[in-house]
Structure 1
């Protein structure tokens, strides 16, 4: 009966022999990752030293697979190869944002490489990855780290460098679900007052323009993302329509090396939409059209230099406005949730989803509509449980 072959990546019994005085040779059969069994040898000053050299040689062996990723690559090399593939296959083809790739690159540089960059692919275990993921301090960092690791090791599995993805065996991440908060009319009045206080506050340098209060109002009028509002051009607005409309067809992005720019497509296909504008939004836009100097981008909201506003700068300005007001929880996205909640209450969640540019109301209901804690009025039904008054005793 034929002897069964060695499993791929393993070796047989190590033999040693003294080939001359003070020099020993160790050898064994090693089944390579292409399925071929090869003899590997090493020498040392003693049988034990020769065996150690042989085992080190086996450990450092690069498998002749012909694939890009192999089991003996360091994780830093795997990450570099995967990142190149991701940019070529996803970003360059328009299926992913360059900003997303840049976020993944930062996870590689700041999380993965410092922790396991010099670990070889075949040495990675689910337990090692579990500890790495859970060591991250924030929920967001843990989620992004796991996402990048999962995609990296998926690429290794496709190259037959791993039999399975160890990230799949790590425990499921548990996140704290945040309650959706929308602004009431009283809240909106307080927020607008905070903006007014910031606008009129004495400070060195030029006085702020009217962009912030108008941005807040347009966020409420359109339920747009902040990048979508900042990307609106005068050519996107039709004042002659009844009612006037605005086309949401772009967003503002920032990339290292490229800077700030307008991307001629919002977050998703369903985000491209034409919206009817309420009268208060039409009034502020017509006022801006008259008062605002022309700029080379034809932008409704432009910097003093006529360039696109950076989303990050507006968000930093907003954090300054809301500081010490009791409304530190309010972000530009809160206005989007406020619109979704109001439309859901007065119409339905499907209409709210269409206003927000969602493909269905599933995400809208889960993350954008504040829970209505007031139950329906069924007092007329519950009244049937009321007990009858006792009979009046006879005189």
Structure 2
């Protein structure tokens, strides 16, 4: 006799795992509207809170699975956003991406459209909104356009409106901007500025030198700031001729709740093992003498033993560089410097591989600074086009 299938919208037994000393993750499997079982998880500071948060996620997914959205053209945009956020939970998005979408919707889009019905939101209304926002910040306008397009696209799929007005607005044109990589002199100036800032007397706890170490690790690994902060003892292999570091995680800072280590970088494809230069290996070896034992131990952490905050590192770096007049330098400038150096000495393909990109398109467009001088070998090649000597007929 065949076993009855689990009804859509139900979930299995809840299990728990401790991500850090302050974070617990509750896991289960949920049968979606398409009949497939999918893993679902939620975090909390205690088992009880993690279970509560997981059940809240499951309740939202159950409403979607049963089709109880009651969405129409007369529904408010605010109601659409509630359903859209629930729909995001059904998708296999990185936690950081889901948080970013929710934040952009809450801060950029919802205040402007929350009281309108869906049928009232026109192409002209969206176009004016995005252009006005672009005058304040092109980046904000681009982020707003992404989430507005996703939400109204969902309204089209649920047949609440006939077309998505975002698809017809004028394109937001980004002015061309040169990729800025640091020169050796600028890199030394950054290092000197951070050392000077850390050594200066100022109110509050004395800097512990971690920001200086993070910079050297970012340069030597090409890692994003969250990837560098997510390195654990187990990710470091110092048994060979050169040290290797496995970049396979990142630090996530949720809107609500404690920071935690995500078990893959920005994308799962960008997980990679890199061989680091000697100066980075020296910094990592020094950190290993200063951190507690244990394979899961992060090499960068706060005074409370929690993951070091990327925002705090950025804030410290910004303060140090402002005093030195180097305001334009951001943590991402180190990745551009790595990419540009590798492309110049080797190839764009090697630069893309180091940065964790699946192709050279993004690397070339956003990370490699264009050289002003063309390779001098062109002169040697073009010698073949020199005019031939003309023989004097009178000779």
What range is the shorter-chain TM-score in? 0.7 to 0.9
Asked if residue 89 in structure 1 is aligned to residue 90 in structure 2, the reply is: yes
Q: Distance in 2 between matches of 1:267 and 1:380?
A: 44
Question: Superposed, which structure 2 residues align to 1:1-395 within 5 Å?
Answer: 68-86=70-88, 88-90=89-91, 95-136=92-133, 137-294=136-293, 298-377=297-376, 378-380=378-380
Compute the RMSD of aligned alpha carbons. 2.5
CA shift, 1:325, in A, is: 2.0
Q: Distance in 2 between matches of 1:354 and 1:154?
A: 35
Q: Distance in 1 between matches of 2:290 and 2:185?
A: 30
Q: Distance in 1 between matches of 2:277 and 2:380?
A: 39
CA shift, 1:264, in A, is: 0.9
Mind listing any 5+ residue stretches in structure 2 that lack a counterpart? 1-66
CA contact (8 A) 1:126 1:170 kept: yes
CA contact (8 A) 1:150 1:165 kept: yes
CA shift, 1:173, in A, is: 0.8
| Cα offsets for 1:23-71 (capped at 9, x unmatched) | xxxxxxxxxxxxxxxxxxxxxxxxxxxxxxxxxxxxxxxxxx9863211
CA contact (8 A) 2:74 2:118 kept: yes
Mind listing any 5+ residue stretches in structure 1 that lack a counterpart? 1-64
In structure 2, the CA distance between the partners of 1:290 and 1:142, relative to structure 1 (3 Å rule), is: same
Q: Distance in 2 between matches of 1:304 and 1:83?
A: 35
CA shift, 1:379, in A, is: 3.2
Give the SS at the match of 1:247. strand
Q: Distance in 1 between matches of 2:356 and 2:338?
A: 12
CA contact (8 A) 1:237 1:244 kept: yes
CA shift, 1:145, in A, is: 1.3
**What residue in structure 2 maps to residue 25 of structure 1?**
none
Q: Distance in 1 between matches of 2:144 and 2:326?
A: 31
CA shift, 1:275, in A, is: 1.1
Q: Normalization by structure 1: what TM-score? A: 0.76
The higher-RCO structure (CA 8 Å, 6+ apart) is 2
Matched residues, number: 324
Give the SS at the match of 1:255. coil
CA contact (8 A) 1:297 1:308 kept: no
Q: Distance in 1 between matches of 2:294 and 2:304?
A: 8
Q: Distance in 1 between matches of 2:302 and 2:121?
A: 50
Q: Distance in 1 between matches of 2:70 and 2:295?
A: 47
Quick check: 355-364 or 321-330, which moved more?
321-330
**What residue in structure 1 maps to residue 27 of structure 2?**
none
CA contact (8 A) 1:130 1:171 kept: yes
Give the SS at the match of 2:70. coil
| Cα offsets for 1:335-382 (capped at 9, x unmatched) | 111111111111100111111111111111110111011112233466
Q: Distance in 2 between matches of 1:380 and 1:242?
A: 39
